[in-house]
Homo-oligomer: A and B are copies of this chain.
Amino acid sequence: MATITKQVKSHGGDVYFLSHESTSTNTTMVFTLFVPSSPLDGPNMPVLYYLSGLTCTNMNFIEKANAIAAAAQHGVVLICPDTSPRGEGVPDAPEDMPCKWDFGQGAGFYVDATEPTYAANYQMYSYITKELPLVVASTLDAVQVGNRVDMGRASIFGHSMGGHGALMIALKNPGMYKSASAFAPICNPSSGSCPWGDKCFGLYLGSLEAGKAYDATVLAQAYNGAPIDVLVDQGTADNFLPTQLETDKFNQAANTNAKINATVRMQEGYDHSYYFISTFAAEHVAFHSERLQ
C-alpha cells in the first residue's frame, strides 16, 4: 500500500496525497485520490482514473479542474497519478535537446519504454494499467473505505498527453474501462505529423512504427472489443490544435468503427488550459458516472 503524506477534507469527502515505491518504475511514485463520502454500505462507488498532460503532476486536476464537486455529487472515486517517474536518478531529456519540457520527467506518455536509456524507469503503461489499481485497492482497504469502492467498475479520462493516454489505454484493454474521455487529446502521435509523438515514441520506443501499438487513432481503427462510449472535448482556440492534436483523425477512425460510440465536440473559443478543462470536467464526470452505475 501507499503512504498517506496528507489528507484533507473537501466536498464532504477526503483527498488523500499518497506516495509509494513503484515496482514498475523503480522510483517513488506519488498519486492523489478523492474519496467521496457515501451514505450507503457496500461497494457502491466506482473509480475514475485521470491522466494529466505534459509538465503536469498528480495535483493539477485535483486543484484546478472543478472535478471534486462533480465526483462528490456522483459518488465516484477519482484517481490521479503523476505523469512520469521522477527523481535524481531518473534519466530526463537528453542534454542537447533544444526544448526539454515535453520529454522525460513530466512527460512519460503512458508507454512502456524499450530504449535502454529509459526502459528501467519509464514504464508508465504498466504502472497505470497493472500496478496502480492494486496500490489504490490496498490503500483504500488500509483507510477502511475499500468496502465502499468497486475497483472493477472503472473508467478513464485525461488531458492532452493524458487524454491520449486515456483513449489509448481504454482501446488497448477492451472491457477494462466502461468509458473513456479526453480534453484536448493528442490523437495520432505516430502519424509522423505530430512533433510530440515523433519525439516521445522515437526516444522511448526507438521508432514511430513501434509507437503504433500505443496510438489511439491506430487502435481505434482496429478496435474489436466490447462496445465502448467515448467523449472528446476540443477547444477551437487551442494553440496546439493545428500542430499536434489531429482531432479529426481520431474522430474519423472512431466514427467508422461500429464498436466505438464516439462524440467529439469542438468547443468554440476554448484553449488548452485548465480554464477549458474546468468548464467541462463536471460533464465528463457525469458521462462516466452514467456508464459506471
Q: Taking CB as reference atom, which chain B residue is nearest A269?
A: B9
Q: Nearest Cβ in chain B — how far from A60, in angstroms?
A: 10
- In whole angstroms, how far apart are the Cα atoms of A109 and B37 in the complex? 36
B63 near A274: Cβ-Cβ < 8 Å = yes
B63 near A276: Cβ-Cβ < 8 Å = no
User: Which B residues are in CB contact (< 8 Å) with A63?
Assistant: 63-64, 274
- In whole angstroms, how far apart are the Cα atoms of A212 and B236 in the complex? 53
A278 near B9: Cβ-Cβ < 8 Å = no
User: Which B residues are in CB contact (< 8 Å) with A69?
Assistant: 66, 69, 278-279, 282
Count of A interface residues, CB-CB < 8 Å:
23
Interface residue A8 (Cβ < 8 Å from any Cβ of B): yes
User: Which B residues are in CB contact (< 8 Å) with A235?
Assistant: 9
Name which of A12, A66, A282 has the most chain B CB atoms within 10 A of its CB. A66
Picked from B68, B271, B276, B282, the residue with its CB within 8 Å of the CB of A278 is B68
Picked from B10, B275, B279, the residue with its CB within 8 Å of the CB of A275 is B10
User: Which B residues are in CB contact (< 8 Å) with A273?
Assistant: 8
Q: Taking CB as reference atom, which chain B residue is nearest A14?
A: B269
- In whole angstroms, how far apart are the Cα atoms of A273 and B17 in the complex? 14
Interface residue A237 (Cβ < 8 Å from any Cβ of B): yes
Interface residue A287 (Cβ < 8 Å from any Cβ of B): no
Q: Nearest Cβ in chain B — how far from A275, in angstroms?
A: 4
Q: Nearest Cβ in chain B — how far from A118, in angstroms?
A: 32
A10 near B276: Cβ-Cβ < 8 Å = yes
- In whole angstroms, how far apart are the Cα atoms of A278 and B10 in the complex? 8
Picked from B9, B11, B12, B271, the residue with its CB within 8 Å of the CB of A8 is B271
19 additional A-B residue pairs with CB within 8 Å, beyond A9-B237, A9-B269, A66-B68: A8-B271, A8-B273, A8-B275, A8-B276, A9-B270, A9-B275, A9-B276, A9-B279, A10-B275, A11-B278, A11-B279, A15-B275, A63-B63, A63-B274, A66-B66, A66-B69, A66-B278, A68-B275, A68-B278
